[in-house]
Each structure stands twice: as C-alpha cells, then as structure tokens.
A = this chain, B = another copy of it.
Amino acid sequence: MSVRRDSARNRALLIEAAREVFAERGFGATLDDIARHAGLGTGTAYRHFPNKQALAAEVLAGATEQIAIDARESLAIDDPWLALVTFFERNAERQARDRGLYEALTGRGDDETQARIWPSIIETVTALFTRAQRAGVVRADAAPQDIAAIFAFLGPAFEMSRTVAPDLWRRYLALMLDGLRAVDRPALPAPPPPVSELASIMKAGKR
C-alpha cells in the first residue's frame, strides 16, 4: 500500500500552516496552535512530526540557506557600499517578514543546520565588509562583528514594524548604517567584541 492521500495532504497543510504561524508569532506558538490553524487535530500534528523542533527545522531549511545566497549575490555587486547595504536590506526584509527566521538566527545558533551554514555566511560577510572598509566607505574603527550586532539591534525595530508601521525598520537600519559609515567622527569608545563571541552577540537579540 502506498501513502494514503489524506495523510500526504495533511502533512503539506501542516508545513504550510507552520510557515505562516511561525512567521507571524515566532516559535512561541504551540504545535496545537499550528494544528488548529491547519484545520487539523493535535494528534495529527504529532504523528507527522515528533515535536516542534522537527517541524521548525523543516520550515527553516530553505530560509537559512537563502541568507548565504543573499550574501554571495551582494558580493557580486560592484559598488562596495551598495553591496553591503543590499545585504543588510535583503536579510532584514526577510527577518521583518518572518519572526521565526529572526528567532532562529538570533535565539540559538546551536542547531546543526545553523552550524553548517554559518561559517560560509561569516566568510562572505567579512569579505563584503572589509572591501567596503578598504574603499573608505565604512569607518576605520568598525569591525565585521559589528554587523552581527546591528542585526541583533534590529530585533526591537522589527517588533516596532509589526505594531506601529510595517516599514519602520528601514528607517532605523538606515540610521545605523549611517553610523557605520561615519568616517569623520571620533573613534568609537570601546573596542569591537572578539570574533569568538559571535554567538553571544547574536543571542543578545533573543526574544
């Protein structure tokens, strides 16, 4: 006997519902919520997925890789500043739209999925950053780690975007990038965090 048609359909319904619910409310949502949103019972959800993490992994599979791709595509842009800004805007846009994605990236990077992709992201982003800095369009006392920090700061900005005005994060991303660009200002008053603390930096944005 092959897979029953209703079973396959319900699995797809669950993944789709999870995509929507996680994006809207983050991983705080319960599997029960997702099941109801899919028009199914709790038991059905737990038969298809052993727990919430498994479903989340399924949903996030593509999204996290996309970030590495965005980084590489940005690196292909000739203008160093535009390239950096493009990377920020693309990713911020994704995260603003998908609260679950933001939480996955900041909350905990200890998933093996994450651990596999991060090194690649870090490498590309560092290239993006140092190129801009060498070109003199990023202040000399900035460091690549500051990019991770800025993403952590955007968390509250996304929250505001949700409750006040959808595009608000663009305003504050631009403000922070102008700060990152300020080449004619006194040196920043504290050294950048060590690269070894990258995970802690991202986690500071945890919700």
Mark A residues whose CB is within 8 Å of B: 142, 146, 149, 152-153, 155-157, 159-160, 163-165, 167-168, 170-172, 174-182, 185, 188-194, 197, 200-201, 203-206
Contacts and interface: CB of A to CB of B under 8 A. Distances in A.
A-B pairs with lowest CB-CB distance, top 7: A179-B179, A159-B204, A171-B190, A178-B182, A175-B179, A156-B204, A178-B179
A164 B142 CA distance: 17
Contact of A167 (B149, B179, B190): B190
A204 B30 CA distance: 22
Nearest to A197: B164
Q: How many copies does the complex hold?
A: 2
Nearest to A152: B156
Contacts of A190: 165, 167-168, 170-171
Contact of A157 (B168, B174, B189, B204): B204
Nearest to A179: B179
A193 B165 contact: yes
11 contacts: A142-B175, A149-B156, A152-B160, A164-B193, A167-B190, A170-B190, A171-B188, A175-B176, A175-B188, A178-B178, A182-B182
